[in-house]
Copies of this chain bind each other. A is one copy, B any other.
């Protein structure tokens, strides 16, 4: 597996002339440089931007001021687009060149080219930027890569045999709906659907879902894809990752239970999927690569087409996730959001490279801008369960909230927020912004 090198753009000592890039706890220091798509009241169409501190660096404005001169032709064209697809399609060596240029444009000292004299024209305050979906997502696939999630969910259905026999062999995934992927901040309407008859012989009802849930996931954007009929070897699959974002796979558990046999989830998932607007690149994440999940004694080794020494060594991401809830009553009484769980992407049974190698192993083609979800990222402890189904054991253990409320599943007005960050001694902390959605009736 090709892994992105750690280089001077990751240096902890690197400083930006944008002061808020050094604010304690900022998600967007100069070592991050995530891409997104935004517009303001003053711009006519969507533009590509890079988050830096509390600002967005406007790439079209950079182009207009010749700040990207010298970049490869494809990169120059891609930076003027209104989605990230063309940038995602550029070869990784060219994307790395762009990262270096952006780092220089924003650094306080030693820049080959600086954007500082143009600050007023190329920086937009994030509070004035309306974020859009980062890419035109043609195909969206959702995996099921957390063995703890699969075990927790399976144990509710099959207490003696929670994991199906294929789980440790196959990176289980299914096709999702791309049209209903929305950007963070978009309200999510509670779906109606057919609900399982509660007593045998009773007909199903069509009514609003009562068991609405979130699922804490990461999204993986594909860079260069592959031709139909040409699988991507696992040794090359890591290089197909453009970057990561947060992903909320909203799920209606009652609809899911009644519909999912024999062809899998459908309406229980396709009413909305939320993603965070900033895509943190594989380059930015280079310092946070860790070993793949260590399979315990007795687990089978991955089949040869899913196994590589480098993926074993560096295929994982040490990436902390957190989910919080704020109810309407909590907000009106001034209570802060309450944290529901924390987990880490390194706990996934399958790496992103294994997901990509598996996805293409029968010949299926991936395209730049395609999105893969990891599946709910849960850990071994109760505090690390990535959805309410697991946290409340299908609603049996209601959560106590500030102000005396309780929750089994989501109620109208509930707002769910995901955040994520990477931390490592000797490196700047980088964050993902947030993925937020409020449930409306």
Contact = CB atoms under 8 A, between A and B. Distances in A.
Contact of A179 (B192, B300, B370): B370
Interface in A62-81: none
Contacts of A229: 189, 271
Contact of A364 (B139, B166, B180, B364): B180
Given A174-B263, A258-B170, A262-B164, A270 B362 contact: yes
A265 interface: yes
Q: Count the copies.
A: 2
A118 interface: no
A64 B268 CA distance: 48
Contacts of A231: 192
A138 B270 contact: no
A318 B174 CA distance: 33
Contacts of A173: 263, 266
Given A179-B366, A260-B262, A206 B267 contact: no
B272 A182 contact: no
B177 A175 contact: yes
A203 B169 contact: yes
Contact of A305 (B206, B265, B270): B206
B203 A364 contact: no
Contacts of A192: 231, 361-362
A165 B79 CA distance: 52
A259 B262 CA distance: 12
Most chain B CB inside 10 Å of its own CB: which residue of A169, A170, A266: A266
A173 B270 CA distance: 12
A433 interface: no
A148 to B, nearest CB: 16
Contact of A166 (B144, B258, B367): B258
A231 B189 CA distance: 12
A378 to B, nearest CB: 16
Nearest to A205: B303
A169 B365 contact: no
Given A189-B229, A191-B362, A267-B364, A175 B172 contact: no
Contact of A175 (B182, B270, B305, B364): B270
Contacts of A172: 259, 262-263, 266
Contacts of A303: 194, 203-204, 206
A44 to B, nearest CB: 21
A209 B252 CA distance: 35
A228 interface: yes
A304 interface: yes
Contacts of A139: 177-179
Contact of A365 (B179, B268, B363): B179
A434 B176 CA distance: 29
B361 A179 contact: no
A380 B180 CA distance: 37
A176 B175 contact: yes
A419 to B, nearest CB: 25
A264 B267 contact: no
B144 A263 contact: yes
B361 A164 contact: no
A99 interface: no
Interface in A159-173: 164, 166, 169-170, 172-173
A176 B103 CA distance: 40
26 contacts: A138-B179, A139-B179, A164-B261, A169-B204, A172-B259, A174-B264, A175-B266, A175-B270, A179-B228, A179-B365, A180-B363, A189-B363, A191-B362, A192-B362, A193-B362, A206-B361, A209-B362, A228-B272, A252-B362, A260-B264, A262-B264, A264-B265, A268-B362, A270-B364, A271-B362, A272-B363
Interface of A: 138-139, 144, 154, 164, 166, 169-170, 172-180, 182, 189, 191-194, 203-204, 206, 209, 228-229, 231, 252, 255, 258-268, 270-272, 300, 303-305, 358-359, 361-367, 370
